[in-house]
Structure 1
């Protein structure tokens, strides 16, 4: 369970973004990684210097480091950055935001943003990303989206989003205009399955900003429904491990 965050408003975008300071432990333990093909599609050719922006606990950062790239991670949450530094000591990690990136002009070949673009003030973030990118560099944006074509996954998602007025209808709806510094936006999708324990579905739900920000009683009520789903759905009941299908949605633009 995440730390209690009684002063956060579940209907405030700023508070929701700040909620991850309270939920870093759970996030690091249960959130999924990303498929290698998606990472390859987002990156430019060669062995570039890559900025993982809003890096969180380092889910994407670890994949970039495994490719022996020159990686720098920037993240506003000290709690999340602590996890990243502990697990990836060879990666340069800095506190910063998308609107104020602590890097020089033209200093990276790619900026990747995983599961975070919707938290940014997008016009300011686009301009700042353009500043730190070299000409011809890539901006890559990626989200893991659960595949609701599977019945239990759809029911799980309905519980997670119930009452959440800030939840967009799709990843595409979250990517606004990038500005004149970037060329056309390309898109690609990658399907994959994350093998997880059924016991991890409750903490996975608890890692979401909406649930972290809810009052304790409301959060516990939704988590109890997750427990009920796991106990009763024919695809989950009496199963220790299950495949959680994802559609990874990727967006890529080149710095003009």
Structure 2
């Protein structure tokens, strides 16, 4: 994705902040445990925190968390739902925190939006030596037949390659050359994935997919046509045609340590 297009997609979420807060999933707790397992202490920065999906899991785990988010509407939702969390406006390229103040930096479905040429040194600056940087991504488990069908019907805007298990594995296949910062600042990355799921109805799954960046920047007529196509598919599938179901997902994690 070109820089201008990436910036457009990255800045699209604020227009749907309330819907994002309502419909986007949390993260598999085992995945967050694994992301933090090598951290030398309990101080964690949730970077690009959005409406606080990952922040809430970190709070539940009892760590000392601070959140940083650039979009005012997304930050407003985070502050509304998690008023006790210290949350600041800012981005990965200019983190409003002092040097060596956190033991881990986590980013939930956000690191692909960072300009890592700038963000890598910034993240290294706020991390203690030996601190952990980890990106987490919730992806659809397209090893399940009906989920694979959904990815075909929805297309790349609603269900992009990064948003599926196959896409996650392809993107992390060359993890020895990660997007997590310059090699002198961070060690070799590790990756893992953890089963996850979200209780959905057909309507709430459509609402979830409507919060994807590719959908938010799409012309309205095209977006409605895509969502109608997804509704028709979900109505035709026995697993999703009636009532609630579990959407099969994985939480993938890529972690590395500051040298």
Q: TM-score, normalised by structure 2?
A: 0.89
Q: How does 1:1-256 map to 2 (within 5 A)?
A: 12-43=5-36, 44=38, 48-162=42-156, 167-168=161-162, 170-171=167-168, 173=171, 175-176=178-179, 178-179=181-182, 180-237=184-241, 239-256=242-259
Q: Could you give the per-residue CA deviations for residues 89-139 of structure 1, whole angstroms, max 9, x where no partner exists?
A: 110001101000000010101000110111111121111100000001110
Q: 1:139 to 1:54 in 2, by over 3 A?
A: same
Aligned partners of 1:182 and 1:102: how far apart in 2?
21
SS at match of 2:167: coil
- Tell whether the 8 Å contact from 2:161 to 2:168 is kept in structure 1 after alignment: no
> Are the counterparts in 1 of residues 153 and 233 from structure 2 also a CA contact under 8 Å?
no
Structure-2 change in CA distance of 1:20 and 1:74 (3 Å): same
State TM-score, norm by structure 1: 0.90
Q: CA deviation at 1:46?
A: 6.9
8 A contact 1:205–1:211 mirrored in 2:
yes
Q: CA deviation at 1:151?
A: 2.0
Task: Give yes or no for contact 1:161–1:167 (8 Å, CA) kept in 2.
Answer: no
Task: Find the aligned partners of 1:171 and 1:231 in 2 and give their Cα distance.
Answer: 27
Q: CA deviation digits over 1:8-61, x for unaligned, max 9?
A: xxx811111110011111111111111111111111457511000000000000
2:175 — aligned with what? Answer: none
Asked whether the equivalents of residues 107 and 132 of structure 1 are also in contact (C-alpha less than 8 Å), the reply is yes
Name stretches of at least 5 consecutive residues in structure 1 with no aligned partner.
1-10
**Is this contact kept in 2: 1:187–1:251, CA < 8 A?**
yes
The answer for unaligned runs of 5 or more in structure 2 is 173-177
1:43-92 per-position Cα deviation (integer Å, ceiling 9, x unaligned): 14575110000000000000111122211100011000111001101100
Q: How far does residue 220 in structure 1 lie from its aligned partner after superposition?
A: 0.3
Q: Which has the higher helix share?
A: 2
State the secondary structure of the residue aligned to 1:12.
helix
Shift of 1:160: 3.2
Output the aligned Cα RMSD: 2.1
Q: How many residues matched? A: 246
